Structure 1
Amino acid sequence: MIAALDRMRQRRRWRQLGPRLDQLRLVVLDVDGVLTDGGLWYGPNGELFKRFDVRDGLGIRLLQQAGLEVALLSGGMGGATEARARHLGIRHCLVGVKDKPAALTRLLEQLDLEPASTAFVGDDFNDLAVRPCVGLLLAPADAAPPLRRQADAVLERCGGNGAVRELVERILGRRPQWRQLCAEGWRDRND
């Protein structure tokens, strides 16, 4: 019963956020716990491996094609994030960031954007600090409870399992080209 009420509240929140989704020009994604499930795999020589969801990748490409900028902002390092960013054509891949609000503020200045045109998707305590820097703070379903409580909305999917793609569909689903995309498909390289 409680879960059903929570889902109804979240649906209502998403409807109310519609006009703010329309204003977005930049979507900033945390990596571990948003683009990945938060797990880290280490090889015998210390190399780091991360698993990324291919549907999230296509969603990012769809956002880019629609004219939105996408950036990655992560405290982690290791090379896998940078490789994924290159593969998807993400120009702003900020890794090893110790002060996320400061890095995000610099990025907004560089892109000449206002916080109201920016959404950030994060999953843990360190992502709460960006709240004053963005118009929308969003969280995957499995984010830390304090972030879920303070987020403008919570996605139905978990990090690394289509949460980013869900957000992309919520953003682009409000735009006229979405119907055409759904009817005719997407013609570009698959990611």
Structure 2
Amino acid sequence: MKKLLREWQWQRQRQALQDLELLVLDVDGVLTDGGLWIDAQGQLLKRFDVRDGLGLRLLQGVGVNLALLSGGQGGATEARAKQLGIRDCLVGIKDKPVALADLQQRLGVTPERTGYLGDDLNDLAVRRSVGLLLAPSDACRPLRQQADAVLNGQGGHGAVRELAERILQARGAWKQLKEQGWRDRND
């Protein structure tokens, strides 16, 4: 029953996925599993899923602007953003709705054409600032309850890739990728 409900949620969101201009992602609990590794020197380490990364590259290829918006900081997020060619990497953010509004204004993107993938209460604060609020399956209950759709995957374990594929499907770009594969042309 839950799977049928989730598929129904996604069908309702198809147009929003087609029209999406900006996808903003929280980091800890979305691009990572939420765990933090700290070495003996106090260096913060994070684990990122490589398939999520390719999903983001595929979205860039169809013109979706990407941004990372995180309350945390420590260098790993910035390094991953640079690897993926994500220019808008906002870390150490205390007020996510204000930072998101500034980003939308700078990029000229309306809230209706903005999607946000988050996992916790501080992400729920952006609800009124986006047209599409999304959550991984292991997000906190209040966020899952208010999200427009909930992914099957967990944060740091394929949720971002799943969302990327759904966006690509809505835009008609997934079939060709699925049949012919993808090559990084280093544009």
TM-score between both structures, scaled by the size of structure 2? 0.97
Residue of structure 1 equivalent to 2:69: 73
Q: Could you tell me how far apart the structure 1 residues matched to 2:185 and 2:141 are?
A: 37
CA distance in 2, matches of 1:54, 1:111: 27
Aligned partner of 1:87 in structure 2 is 83
Deviates more, 1:156-165 or 1:5-14: 5-14
Is 2:22 the counterpart of 1:11? no
TM-aligned CA deviation for residue 119 of structure 1? 0.4
State the alpha-carbon separation in 2 of the partners of residues 16 and 37 from structure 1: 28
Give the direction of change, closer, same or farther, for the CA distance of 1:115–1:158 in structure 2 (3 Å limit): same
Could you give the per-residue CA deviations for residues 122-146 of structure 1, whole angstroms, max 9, x where no partner exists? Answer: 0000001000110000000000000
The equivalent residue for 1:51 is 47
> Which amino acid in structure 1 is aligned with residue 101 of structure 2?
T
Aligned to 1:121: 117
Query: Percent identity at matched positions?
Result: 62
2:180 is the counterpart of 1:184? yes
**Distance apart, 1:176 and its partner CA:** 3.0
- Given that 2:26 and 2:69 are in contact with CA atoms closer than 8 Å, whether structure 1 keeps it comes out as yes
Q: Where does residue 144 of structure 1 map in the other structure?
A: 140
Query: What one-letter code is carried by the residue in structure 2 that aligns with 1:47?
Result: Q
Extract unaligned runs of 5+ from structure 2: none
Instruction: Give the match's secondary structure for 1:173.
Output: helix
Distance 2:175 2:51 in 1: 18
Q: Deviations over 1:52-77 (max 9, x none)?
A: 00000000000001111000000000
Q: How many angstroms does 1:175 deviate by?
A: 2.2
Question: Given the two structures, how large is their TM-score scaled by the length of structure 1?
Answer: 0.95
Which structure 1 residue ranges, 4+ long, deviate > 6 Å from structure 2?
none
CA-based RMSD of the aligned residues comes to 1.1
